[in-house]
A and B are shown apart, each in its own frame.
Chain A
Amino acid sequence: MTNLLDIQNLTIRFKGKRTVHAINDVSLSMKQGETLALLGESGSGKSVTLKALLGLLPPKRTDIAGSIHVNGTDVLSLSGKALQRYRGGEVSMVFQEPALALDPVYTVGHQIAETVMRHKGLSKEDALSTALDMLDRVRIPSANRRLNNYPHELSGGMRQRVMIALALACRPKLLLADEPTTALDATVQIQILLLLRELQKEFGMGVIFVTHDIGVAVEISERVAVMYAGQIVEEGTTREIIRDGRHPYTRGLLAANLHDVARGERLNAIAGSPPALEAKPDACSFAPRCPRALSACREALPPMITPSERRRVGCLRADETLAAE
């Protein structure tokens, strides 16, 4: 069985007044029906990766090297009609701000039906009944009435449900979710996370869930890839990352979650702030902030250590971390 997603040595550079090396040599693969969390802070390249997957990066200002294959399709070679069919058909996306991603002048039913008509060539009646079915599936109460609502008439949680219905209406193989719960309240966030989990099982699609919150990643995903400075520094199952995070950055993030820190105790904060990515990294990007950095870390790129099948850590001292415990 082919992988659902195969990213090989993806490198993305933004040109302009200042060059930004946004993604540096990222490889990532996903099997059908997996849920992967891309975990990282602002500027780590997680959203850029998603945009590249959808072919949304402006070609004039970006240099892309490497390859992206989704379900066997070479995404980077797509253009025109083929790209349109791919976007929203094979792969679709849920955004952070549904209020901005939904068109305010059309009813939600119209927006979903329109997408279905475009991609599946259904008649208007069939498309509307698909829309109704989708609203039901995202557990919107009295969906029939909601079809004729405009986005501003819905609450934040409802809008995000509509956004998910819209994304899933064409049965994509891969769903990209860009921090879809960050703007929501805590009690609504957990509803959306559980909904996505159920829908993932129901539809059997692959999900890439971008988030900065480890707790959210735990709730949604089976696997986690931690990104830092445009690189994947650690990947493994969620259990492995939470219980046995090896990369010092992963460990720092776990500590910063404050989940089990005593009240008022001095926090083990990661010093400094992320690098500006103005040059292509030729050493470990995390070394300047790393409490365990050796001189070798500042001289060459760290090796990718693979302690087990589909598990990797980009740290020179990853094996030691294990031994130390």
Chain B
Amino acid sequence: MSATDYAPKPDTGGPAQPLLIVKDLQKHFPVRGGLFGRTQAKVQAVDGVSFEVKKGETLGIVGESGCGKSTTAKLLIGLTEKDRGEIIFDGLSLGQRLPLKDLRKGVQMVFQDSYATLNPRLTILDSVAFGTKVQGLKDPNGLARKMMDRVGLNPNRFAHRYPHELSGGQRQRVNIARALAMSPRLVVLDEAVSALDKSVEAQVLNLLNDLRAEFGLTYIFISHDLNVVRYISDRILVMYLGEVVEVAPVDSIWKSQAHPYTRSLFSAMPSMDPDNRTQEPPLAGDPPNPINPPSGCRFHTRCRFASDVCKSDAPRLDGLAQNAAHMVVCHLYDAASGHPRAGQGIPA
């Protein structure tokens, strides 16, 4: 694979400008019902999410089902239309100076279900070459073959096969090749390794690391597996019921989680130590329904430290006093919040 084949759009803003800025992103899905299909309620899938992704970094997004991480991914590449908010890619705002078509040249996505994301009636080669054909690049098949080779699939053996003839790991390589054939600068990996067997997952993670280095890629890595996210990410963003609750560099959050929810999520990881197994579940019950999320801080219904202010006022995202890069959304860290333990944080 030579450098000329991989031709992403040139950088415009310089290295200091974040590759992606997301401001106050919101998506509510209507729940229709009744005789005339009127909107009965709204699923608040993503509600006021803001974050940045620097050039060349990997941002991990974690959270449980219904927290809005997959919806966020689909909003980022315009598969779902946002209700509100701004997506700024390399300095250009989507819908203003950046048309959707151009965004999709710069941002690609790899989905979780490697089988469902491949058209069962197209050969591997046709699937990989589809995007570049659409964009009108010359020699899309040649490029697709090179990309297949690059992700470890011998094009002579695999080009004319169908998705069902491949193993899960091989199919996920095809999906990666298809995304990279478009020469993106940002790749959104939505649970891209979650469905794979552990031994295959490691192979694909190695591949993703290699590709990132070779093509200077920026990743948004969405997963529920904290170990995998820690391994591949530079920063981690934690979501709960459609909102961001904590964003921090990996090492910082791994050492100490600031938000009570993040703390619980980390404690829920299996211990891997047969002599020191988990004794007490960190949280009781399931996450609440995003149709009618709790008022104030959405986590207050399950939080050990909740007080009256948590039920009424929504906290804001702010850096920790000792480390401004570690940002959290919690009244415990805001000295002026009116929480009985305001400014003290959660006990270690």
Contact = CB atoms under 8 A, between A and B. Distances in A.
Interface of A: 41-42, 155-158, 185-191, 193-194, 212-216, 218-219, 237-239, 242-243, 252-253, 255-259, 261, 263-264, 266-271, 273-274
Contacts of A255: 202
14 contacts: A41-B199, A42-B197, A186-B224, A187-B281, A189-B268, A191-B283, A193-B270, A256-B198, A267-B202, A269-B199, A269-B200, A269-B203, A273-B169, A273-B200
B198 A257 contact: yes
Contact of A266 (B209, B232, B278): B209
Contacts of A156: 65, 286
Contacts of A261: 231
B23 interface: no
Nearest to A252: B199
Contacts of B209: 264, 266
A129 to B, nearest CB: 25
A-B pairs, 4 with minimum CB distance: A215-B270, A269-B202, A185-B64, A41-B197
Interface in B150-174: 167-170
A258 B231 contact: yes
B231 A270 contact: no
Contact of B205 (A186, A190, A242, A267): A267
Interface residues of B, number: 45
A271 B270 contact: no
B224 A219 contact: no
A215 B271 CA distance: 7
Nearest to A139: B284
Given A186-B224, A194-B278, A266-B206, A158 B286 contact: yes
Contacts of B269: 186, 215
A190 B170 CA distance: 32
A10 to B, nearest CB: 23
A212 B203 contact: no
Contacts of A155: 285-286
B97 interface: no
B91 interface: no
Contacts of B271: 215, 218-219
Contacts of B287: 185, 187
B230 interface: yes
B127 to A, nearest CB: 20
B198 A157 contact: no
Kindly name the residue among A187, A189, A253 whose own CB sees the greatest number of chain B CB atoms within 10 A.
A187
A65 to B, nearest CB: 28
B277 interface: yes
B314 interface: no
A184 to B, nearest CB: 9
B202 A273 contact: no
B33 to A, nearest CB: 15
B242 to A, nearest CB: 15
B82 to A, nearest CB: 26
B139 interface: no
Nearest to B169: A273
Nearest to B284: A191
B228 interface: yes
Contacts of A218: 270-274, 277
Given A157-B285, A190-B281, A264-B209, 20 more contacts: A185-B64, A186-B226, A187-B64, A187-B287, A188-B64, A190-B268, A191-B283, A194-B281, A214-B270, A215-B272, A216-B270, A218-B271, A239-B275, A256-B202, A258-B202, A258-B231, A264-B232, A266-B209, A270-B202, A273-B169
A214 B272 CA distance: 8
A243 B276 CA distance: 13
A212 B200 CA distance: 13
A190 B278 contact: yes
A219 B277 CA distance: 6
A311 B203 CA distance: 30
Contacts of A274: 197
Nearest to B209: A264
Nearest to B264: A187
B128 interface: no
B265 interface: yes
A7 B103 CA distance: 58
Contacts of B231: 258, 261, 263-264, 267
B131 to A, nearest CB: 27
A239 B274 contact: yes
B206 A186 contact: no
A158 B285 CA distance: 8
A257 B64 CA distance: 20
A258 B227 contact: yes
Contacts of B227: 257-259
Contact of A186 (B167, B200, B268, B284): B268
Interface in B95-127: none
Contacts of B64: 185-188
A159 to B, nearest CB: 10
Contacts of B274: 218, 237-239, 242-243
Interface in B180-205: 197-203, 205
Nearest to B67: A185
A239 B283 CA distance: 27
B286 A188 contact: yes
Interface in B278-318: 278-287
A269 B206 contact: yes
Nearest to B168: A42
Nearest to B226: A186
B250 interface: yes
Given A185-B64, A187-B268, A269-B206, A41 B224 contact: no
